[in-house]
Amino acid sequence: MAGTSDAALRERARRVIPGGMYGHQRAGLFPENFPQYLSHGEGALIRDVDGREFVDLLCGYGPIVLGYQHPGVEAAAAAQRRQADCQNAPSARMVELAELLVDVVDHADWAYLAKNGTDATTTCLTIARAATGRSVVLVARGSYHGAAPWCTPGLAGVLPSDRAALRYFEYNDHASLRAAVDEAGDDLAGIIVTPFKHNDGEDQELVDPAFARELRQVCDSRNAVLILDDVRCGFRLNFGGSWESLGIQPDLSAWGKAVSNGYTVSAILGIEALRDAATSIFSTGTYWFAAVPMAAAIATINAIRDEDGIAAMERAGELLRSGIVEQARANDLAISYTGPAQMPYFRFLADTDFERMMHFSRVALDHGVYIHPRHNWFVSVAHTDEIVARALAGTEAAFRAVRDRFGDG
């Protein structure tokens, strides 16, 4: 069970927060020994309010790309905080961050800054519709693009009209895509797609380059807008955009999470042809122009580049992958371990209701490793060989526990 300080906070929260907690950070989604409240983070380690320390393999659901309390990022944020943060108008950091994003992301001619991934993806759809004068956007079935009514996985309070202009296709399925395009007809405004398939509770699936090329060709032939939702993956797979290595450029891309190492910034990046449409829409927020997160983002992007951060994350992820796969083999347990090394998804093949993963996660936490039982994991630049070895010591105990309780598979 979680500790006494955590339990007391949960009891207080039940009186003042709907459900005691909401969204994807509800402890009820985890085994019972997971804390609801955390207190500290440093490097690749976190502590809960009861003082328990864990190797973090979730990284705040992705934003922590350099590790907690990265000196350069924290220094930049502190320096800006001494001047000002949220004011009547933005600081020079806004221009500097936009310039940096345009400089490092190949397809970007301009940047539109916001706060959350949902802000970014929703603004992308708005720009696509403003640019084309059309309504329909194609979305891969089961793909997560945020928590607005048009895309939230929870349907309470969502109206059919919120999704009336969406059509769906299966990721990496050419025939399904063509059928959705035909259904949209002359009203196709755009297609939004993630760099690879990472649907909740499913094996991850890398994009087929031929499928990515067809998405680009469809949008070109229909004068529609190709939107790459890089909120989860941006600055983790490639420095200039997740499809940089494929040589396929979107018209718009949505960025978040790793942009600022935990500070609240997201971005919409676009091509020159969409500049006027981006200028024409009204999309804003009170805190969208805050300077401290923008200063942190500048420092984060520079640090990822200067520290060869993507290669460091890939190395750490490969060490983790090889260790997990070997532990499963040694314990005669059949697993699936999919996706990029920096963002792996792991499950037991014999699981029907995540019961093995829940037990695995419970035991791993008791041995100092914080993982998610049904969401993909993340590694950061701070996951050194020593930290990965520490994590693998915990997962080894968890594999033994699964074998002992469930037998093989």
Which CATH number covers residue 75?
Answer: 3.40.640.10
Q: Structure pTM?
A: 0.96
pLDDT in the model for residue 3: 86
Number of domains in the chain: 2
The per-residue b/e assignment along 311-342, b for 16 or more CB within 10 angstroms, e otherwise, is ebbbbbbebbbebbeebbeebebebebbbbbb
Q: What digits encode the pLDDT tens for the residues 155-189? A: 999 999 999 999 999 999 999 999 999 999 999 99
pLDDT in the model for residue 303: 98
Reported confidence tier of residue 267, pLDDT bands at 50, 70, 90: very high
Residues 198-220 have a mean pLDDT of 96
Residue 39, domain extent: 4-66+308-406
Are 260 and 355 found together in one domain?
no
Are 100 and 240 found together in one domain?
yes
Are 240 and 344 found together in one domain?
no
Are 116 and 242 found together in one domain?
yes
Residue 329 is encoded by which pair of tokens? 């083999």
Is residue 120 within 8 A of residue 286, CB to CB? The reply is no
Residues 219-237 have a mean pLDDT of 98
The per-residue b/e assignment along 178-190, b for 16 or more CB within 10 angstroms, e otherwise, is eebbeebeeebbb
Q: What digits encode the pLDDT tens for the residues 279-316? A: 999 999 999 999 999 999 999 999 999 999 999 999 99
Is residue 186 within 8 A of residue 196, CB to CB? The reply is no
Of 262, 291, 306, the last residue of a domain is 306
Of 306, 331, 351, the last residue of a domain is 306
Are 97 and 15 found together in one domain?
no
What percent of the chain clears pLDDT 70, i.e. is strictly above it?
100
Given a cut of 90, whether residue 409 has pLDDT beyond it is: no
Are 280 and 151 found together in one domain?
yes
Are 139 and 79 found together in one domain?
yes
Distance of CA 133 to the CA centre of its chain: 30
Are 360 and 242 found together in one domain?
no
Are 145 and 213 found together in one domain?
yes
Are 286 and 326 found together in one domain?
no
Given a cut of 70, whether residue 132 has pLDDT beyond it is: yes
Which CATH number does the domain housing residue 346 bear? 3.90.1150.10
Residues 270-287 have a mean pLDDT of 97
Are 49 and 147 found together in one domain?
no
pLDDT in the model for residue 407: 87
Given a cut of 90, whether residue 2 has pLDDT beyond it is: no
Are 225 and 359 found together in one domain?
no
